Amino acid sequence: MFLPVLLCLCFWRLDGVFADDEVKSVSVTEGDSVSLNSGLTEMKDDDVIQWRFGDENTLIAEINKQGDRITVYEDVLDGRFRDRLKLDNQTGSLTVTHTTTEHAGDYELQINSVIKNFRLTVFVLELVSVSEGDSVSLNSGLTEIKDDDVIQWIFDITLLAEINNRADRITVYEDVLDGRFRDRLKLDNQTGSLTVTHTTTEHEGYYQLQINYIWVPSYISLNVYGELNISFFCFIYYSKI
């Protein structure tokens, strides 16, 4: 005896927008240009590319290949992007020119139903000078350290000083680098700022700050000139966190 067999074929179709969870970090020095790469080598005839910026996801630029239209919305967000946006009509990549701190933050790219995310950091150059033998303070940028904060100052690749509020410990490593910083380092236990006293040419180099084991993109280059002037070139970052 043969029994009839019923075969059921089910087809599923998923529609919607798919987001890539990875956030690509990009950095630039203020005044320079930066390109946010779409990842495409060439757009298709029916592609729609949209770039958005900020917490409110404001549309700032788009390419609609099917409508043969390229649009840059320069007047949104109080005109901060005016004359600063360029779209590559082949790849959909976005270039921001003459960057300022107002352009730091989160960018979202939507290619048809796929979303990619970018985070832009903008550095600002600041100059501070001091005469040899005087003291100079390197600002952490914090107004107050939290109870679980860990603050570390690095000179070139050598750890100089740290505040570990988790362990209730403040440490100054005076004997590193042949003792050139001995009796010359002071840490502010409220803000984490570092002061170098009695400066000499031995203190030339690069200083960097780490907060909670995350590098802060703030680099200080210490230089000593013939007139016994010491200058600091400080990169301060602005980023959407």
- What is the architecture, at CATH level 2, of domain 18-123? Sandwich (2.60)
Contacts of 166 (CB under 8 A, 6+ apart): 147, 148, 149, 150
Q: Report pTM.
A: 0.64
pLDDT band at 19 (very low <50, low <70, confident <90, very high): low
Please spell the DSSP secondary structure of 72-91, one letter per residue.
E-TTSGGGTTTTTEEE-TTT
Structure confidence by residue, pLDDT tens digits, 148-188: 999 999 998 999 999 999 999 999 998 999 999 999 999 99
Instruction: State the distance between the two ends of the chain, measured CA to CA, in whole angstroms.
Output: 71
Give the tens place of pLDDT for each residue, 80-112: 999 999 999 999 999 999 999 899 999 999 999
Calculate the average pLDDT of the chain: 84
18-123 and 132-238: same fold? Answer: yes
> For a pLDDT cut of 90, what percent of the chain falls above it?
58
Spans of all domains in the chain: 18-123, 132-238
User: According to the model, what pLDDT value does residue 215 have?
Assistant: 77
pLDDT tens track for 21-40: 789 999 888 899 999 999 99
Residue 6, pLDDT above cutoff 50: no
pLDDT band at 117 (very low <50, low <70, confident <90, very high): very high
SS3 17: coil
The pLDDT score that the predictor gives to residue 156 is: 87
Contact call for residues 70 and 89 (beta carbons, < 8 A): yes
Class of domain 132-238: mainly beta
In the predicted structure, residue 214 carries a pLDDT above the cut 50:
yes
pLDDT value at 1 more than 70: no
pLDDT at 139 over 80: yes
- The pLDDT of 30-56, averaged and rounded, is 93
pLDDT at 132 (0 to 100)? 86
